[in-house]
Structure 1
Amino acid sequence: MKQVRSASGFAFVAPFLLLYAFLQLYPLVRGIIISLHRVDLFGGGHFVGLANYGEILGDPVFGQAVVNTLLVTLMIVPPLTVLALLLALALNNATRSSAIYRGLFFSSSVLSVTIVTLIWRFVLAPDSGLVGEALKATGHEPLPFLSDAHLVLPAIALTTIWWSIGLPMILFLAGLQQIPADMYEAAALDRSSRWTTLRKITLPAIRRTTLLVVMLQTASQLQLFGQSQLLTAGGPGGASRTMVFFIYETAFVRWQLGYAAAGAEILFVMILMVTLIQYVTINRDREEAR
């Protein structure tokens, strides 16, 4: 009887497992195999072992892409987390205006990266863009955000924060609404200030949500590609070339598929490390809560 039940259970999950293996596991294994070969888009090639990894780790262009990716991630994740939390705190009530503002702030998240970059091209254009016109009105010279090596990453970070703020805000709202109301009532009876209530009740209660937001956004921004490609094409001088953009260029412009696969596997390891840190931190938090 147990064997029949287990067989019927496996029959229910088999379609998902097969689809998952085809869409996730096979590309992963295939990518690792390709990274060990010198191969182009037309196939063929030969086995070179870890030569692609040794070469790419010494490649200054790849090194610059790694630094750019880490820098833009640091520019995005902390401000995005803080802004999303502040918005969630401001909109954590049942009024009609709060519901409208939630929809407005979340609406940018449903736009495609093409639409987002098109909007911000107009906003950041030095001659006739919104920011340029505002600087002219205050007596300042417009800044070349998309053509200055020192300004291009902050410009991409600003664009991404505007685009991505909706989902973290919703996650924080969900976390805030899980906090029991009697905790705030007890704090009010003790005449606790808003800052004390925030520091002693709210922030500890949403610690797991904060960790989730930080880790999800870190993993997402390590894969940043569309903004770099469509806003600046990786320029000027490679100042905005990210790891995914490097992989794209290597595979589909230079046709070095094995070399690009090696870069993709390095990126995969970085994202895996972020995920493992999240897993360990959340489990440790659960054990401490017990």
Structure 2
Amino acid sequence: MSSLTSSNEAQAPVAARGSSSAPSGSRSTNARARSIQGRSGFWFVLPFAAAFAMFLIWPILSGLWMSFTNQSLTGSGSAFAGFDNYSEALGDAALWQALGNTVIFTLLTVVPLVVLSFVLAYLVYIGLPGQWLWRLSFFAPYLLPVSVAVAIWQWMFQPDFGLFNGLLLRAGFAQIPFLSEASLAMFSVVVVTVWWTLGFNFLLYLSALNNIPDHLYEAASIDGAGPWRRLFSITIPMINRTTVMIIMLQILASLKVFEQIFLLTNGGPNGATRSVLEYIYDVGFTGYRLGYASAISYLFFALIIVISIVQLRVMNRKSA
């Protein structure tokens, strides 16, 4: 009996060692499998990482270095200039005028592009007759290239044979210089921009409205809530996050305006509509001062980052 007990005690450590060696082998196998997966994943990511570094990281670093030089588009004068370009930009009156035009354009476009897109989406959502036609009409301009949209409105704004001035002349009124008058040129660009880009926000709002549960409206109707009460108590609060996102996207897009202003008014008259990006284009590709244009670009980039951070914090507090 004692010999049997001793033999069992002798075999116990062997079994314990055998049981501990099995998990060790499985762990090493799993480690090898993870290593192989990691190496294969690296080769899948490598093409994108190379393209990302070549077309984004390298241009950013190269442009940052160029902003500290006197680099010219002609290839001459690439000496190191330190912070001279940045100090010149801060005292450039034309740059401050362009920044003011950009801020005015942003203020004039953000409000109608948010309000009108919601109103149009809500009219379609509640069952406006002929919904397919309204959906197409509201979204179709957004599908047009900017050159086509500008060409349409340039014809309508023409002083001699344009649509608007032609109607005014037939009605016995004087012509209106929509694009050649400094006080009207910016409003003309705003009208074109709102008409052209309204469809994107309209689509976002319509998608958000369709995701509101129907039982909320049914419960509100049973409680006696009318259409206006349901609008302000259910619809608008339920799409609050979509509104925050649209406002953020629209502010950033308006700050980076370039194409429609450049094609419609070329920044005129007398720089009344020239935006910051157009001024950067003029300095770099018309004045051949790539170093100075790069410095302005990075100052404007820093300003957009600050505005984005502040806006994000304010919107998060309001939506909380």
TM-score normalised over the length of structure 1 = 0.92
Contact preservation (8 Å) 1:149, 1:237: yes
Q: In structure 2, what residue type is equivalent to 1:133?
A: G
Contact preservation (8 Å) 1:126, 1:144: yes
Q: Hey, what does 1:43 align to over in structure 2?
A: 75
Amino-acid identity (%): 36
Contact preservation (8 Å) 1:208, 1:282: no
CA positional deviation for 1:193: 2.0
Taking the aligned partners of 1:10 and 1:284, their CA distance within structure 2 comes to: 40
After superposition, residues 204-283 of structure 1 pair within 5 angstroms as: 204-281=237-314
CA positional deviation for 1:43: 3.0
CA positional deviation for 1:111: 1.2
Could you tell which deviates more after superposition, 155-164 or 193-202? 193-202
Contact preservation (8 Å) 1:36, 1:50: yes
Q: Hey, what does 1:14 align to over in structure 2?
A: 46
Moved over 6 A (4+): none
Taking the aligned partners of 1:186 and 1:267, their CA distance within structure 2 comes to: 50
Taking the aligned partners of 2:135 and 2:310, their CA distance within structure 1 comes to: 31
Structure (1 or 2) with the larger CA radius of gyration: 2
SS in 1 for 2:206: helix
Pairing partner for 1:134 from 157, 160, 167 = 167
CA positional deviation for 1:6: 3.1
CA positional deviation for 1:204: 1.2
After superposition, residues 99-118 of structure 1 pair within 5 angstroms as: 99-118=132-151
Could you tell which deviates more after superposition, 41-50 or 79-88? 41-50
Taking the aligned partners of 2:265 and 2:73, their CA distance within structure 1 comes to: 26
Contact preservation (8 Å) 1:52, 1:259: yes
State the Cα deviation string for residues 21-76 of structure 1 (Å, max 9, x = none).
Answer: 22222222221111111110133511112111110111111111000011011111
CA positional deviation for 1:97: 2.3
State the Cα deviation string for residues 165-210 of structure 1 (Å, max 9, x = none).
Answer: 1111001111111111111111111221222211111111111111
Q: Hey, what does 1:26 align to over in structure 2?
A: 58
Taking the aligned partners of 2:46 and 2:182, their CA distance within structure 1 comes to: 51
Q: Hey, what does 1:90 align to over in structure 2?
A: 123
Say how many residue pairs are matched: 287
Taking the aligned partners of 1:22 and 1:203, their CA distance within structure 2 comes to: 44
Contact preservation (8 Å) 1:72, 1:153: yes
Taking the aligned partners of 1:241 and 1:221, their CA distance within structure 2 comes to: 13
Q: Hey, what does 1:121 align to over in structure 2?
A: 154
Does the C-alpha gap of structure 1 residues 269 and 7 become closer, same or farther in structure 2, counting only changes over 3 Å?
same
Q: Hey, what does 2:107 align to over in structure 1?
A: 74
Taking the aligned partners of 1:224 and 1:33, their CA distance within structure 2 comes to: 25
SS in 2 for 1:37: coil
Q: In structure 2, what residue type is equivalent to 1:52?
A: N
State the Cα deviation string for residues 213-243 of structure 1 (Å, max 9, x = none).
Answer: 1111111111111222111111111111111
Taking the aligned partners of 2:161 and 2:38, their CA distance within structure 1 comes to: 66
Taking the aligned partners of 2:47 and 2:216, their CA distance within structure 1 comes to: 46
SS in 1 for 2:71: strand
Taking the aligned partners of 2:238 and 2:39, their CA distance within structure 1 comes to: 42
Give the root-mean-square deviation of aligned CA atoms: 2.0
Taking the aligned partners of 1:199 and 1:96, their CA distance within structure 2 comes to: 23
SS in 2 for 1:38: coil
Taking the aligned partners of 1:242 and 1:95, their CA distance within structure 2 comes to: 38
After superposition, residues 168-187 of structure 1 pair within 5 angstroms as: 168-187=201-220
Contact preservation (8 Å) 1:212, 1:278: no
Structure 1, gaps ≥5 residues long: none
Does the C-alpha gap of structure 1 residues 275 and 8 become closer, same or farther in structure 2, counting only changes over 3 Å?
farther
Taking the aligned partners of 2:119 and 2:213, their CA distance within structure 1 comes to: 19
